[in-house]
Structure 1
Amino acid sequence: MERPLKGSAPNADDEQLLRGRVYGRDHDDPDPGPLPHQTYAALVGGPLDGLLLDITGWRTEEVDDGVALITELGRWPGGRALYDPRSGEPRTPGPGVSCRFYYSGDTP
């Protein structure tokens, strides 16, 4: 598969590969989707748009801090894409998608 050029957005093939998949699971996994007993944050925007992040067992403070996720698809391949929750946005307790993390930039 063709990799995006440094600083470019993911191409359509990359975006399709990411949809409905859990961050950190291998794309070759026969079932890379969410598990019914886990809790997830939906990643919105940026290079990991459409992925779910497993936040099962995270404390409220950890969710509030957001995340820096390693990706080859960001501005710096092998760098991190930054995602944060929006203040005041509701969260649903329990399994399933409980919140959203929004893209806020990249870091090497």
Structure 2
Amino acid sequence: MSETHARRVYGTDSDGPCEPVPGHEYVDLVGGPLDGELLDVTGWSAPERTEGLLLVTDRGLFGPGGRALYSPSEADPAGPLLWDGDTP
């Protein structure tokens, strides 16, 4: 019997909900230090969803304060965000 675990939402901490909230829209973060997390894009416009994002993470190449760049694929701009690398 397999267990189903809720996926973690990027930017949540122990004081807030770490799991997806019903009625919100999420995209997958694929690859890199945030692989497997979800990003809440509720209320984002189409142009906002087609730009790359620098997401703060302490799990990347540059440790605390570093950022991971995630961008949509050209083949599926509304789909998952793919890791492009880390930056300080």
Q: Give the TM-score band, short-chain normalised.
A: 0.7 to 0.9
Distance 1:48 1:31 in 2: 17
Structure 2 unmatched runs, 5+? 1-5
The match for 1:39 is: 25
**Does structure 1 conserve the Cα–Cα contact (< 8 Å) formed by 2:50 and 2:77?**
no
Q: 1:36 to 1:22 in 2, by over 3 A?
A: same
1:105 aligns with 2:88: no
Identity %: 49
TM (norm. structure 2) is 0.84
Q: Taking structure 1 as reference, are residues 90 and 104 closer, same or farther at Cα in structure 2, changes over 3 Å only? A: closer
Question: Equivalent residues in 2 for 1:1-108 (5 A)?
Answer: 20-26=7-13, 28-29=14-15, 31-77=17-63, 78-89=65-76, 91=78, 99-108=79-88
Q: Could you report, residue by residue, the CA deviation over 1:36-60 in whole angstroms, capped at 9, with x for unpaired residues? A: 1001110000000010000111111
- Classify the secondary structure of the residue corresponding to 2:68: strand
- CA–CA separation in structure 2 for the residues paired with 1:59 and 1:30: 25
Consecutive aligned runs of 4 or more in structure 1 exceeding 2 Å deviation: 28-31
Give aligned pairs, total.
82
Aligned AA for 2:47? E
TM-score in terms of structure 1 length: 0.69
Change (3 A) 1:50 1:29: farther
**1:55-85 Cα shifts (integer Å, max 9, x gaps):** 1111111111021000000011111100001
CA separation in 2, counterparts of 1:30 and 1:55? 17
